[in-house]
Amino acid sequence: MSDRAELRRALEALLFVSDEPVSSAALAQVLEVDRREVDELCEELARCFEEREAGIVLRNVAGGWRLSTHPDAAPIVERLVLSTRHSRTTRAALETLAIVAYKQPVTRHQISSIRGANSDGVLRSLVDRGLVSEVGREEGPGRPMLYGTTPEFLERLGLPSLAALPPVAPLLAQVAEDDSGPDPDAETATGE
């Protein structure tokens, strides 16, 4: 395999994992080549996708290179996105949604701190599903984005407003009780 083929593979991998356009300069720095070579590699990669009639395309948009689905595949992609939009919600998504609902407006960092885990992907999924949205910016350093629930969230839960959310204290007590499991002494007493 040639060095150029390895570079093209690495470039494709970098573009695949990026969720926004990546500048030629940033790609050149990571690949340790000059910017002109990155542009040539990107153009080659774009031609390869086009020649094999791939479902993805590589375009130079908004000051950087970005992979996206081929425009001709839009109706099929849309069907998948719409069919999975109302798919089952994971435990992580439910935890994140509960934090946003009860603590809003809340920052991504605050959500992750409460959950004790990185919540970026889960939060992005909830935004994509229309249950959470950006509602402003915090006034502190860096002015982080604030998140809150949407009208769709209320609709899906059948609530007239956030005031109709159940109080959180009894819910936490129930979770603590469920997590503690059965009382071992109670089993011994019933087994005798």
Listed by start position, the domains of the chain span 3-72, 91-181
Q: Which CATH number fits domain 91-181: 3.40.228.10, 3.30.1340.10, 3.40.50.2000, 1.10.10.10?
A: 1.10.10.10
Q: Which helix (H) or strand (E) element contains residue 143? A: none
Q: Are 162 and 154 in contact (CB under 8 A)?
A: yes
Q: Are 131 and 150 in contact (CB under 8 A)?
A: yes
Q: Are 38 and 31 in contact (CB under 8 A)?
A: yes
The pLDDT of residue 18 is 86
Whether 3-72 and 91-181 share one fold: the answer is yes
pTM for the complete prediction? Answer: 0.47
Residue with tokens 């690495």: 10
**What are the pLDDT digits (tens) for 97-153?**
999 999 999 999 999 999 999 888 899 999 988 999 999 999 888 899 999 999 988
Residue with tokens 């502190």: 140
Q: What is the DSSP letter of 90?
A: P
Sequence-ordered strand ranges (E) for the chain: 56-61, 64-69, 106-107, 132-137, 145-149
Q: CATH fold of 3-72, please?
A: Arc Repressor Mutant, subunit A (1.10.10)
The pLDDT of residue 185 is 45
The pLDDT of residue 179 is 59
**What are the pLDDT digits (tens) for 9-28?**
999 999 999 878 899 999 99
Confidence of residue 62 (pLDDT cuts 50, 70, 90): confident
**Start-to-end Cα distance in the chain:** 72
Beta bridge partners of residue 133, listed in sequence order: 148
Sequence-ordered strand ranges (E) for 42-131: 56-61, 64-69, 106-107
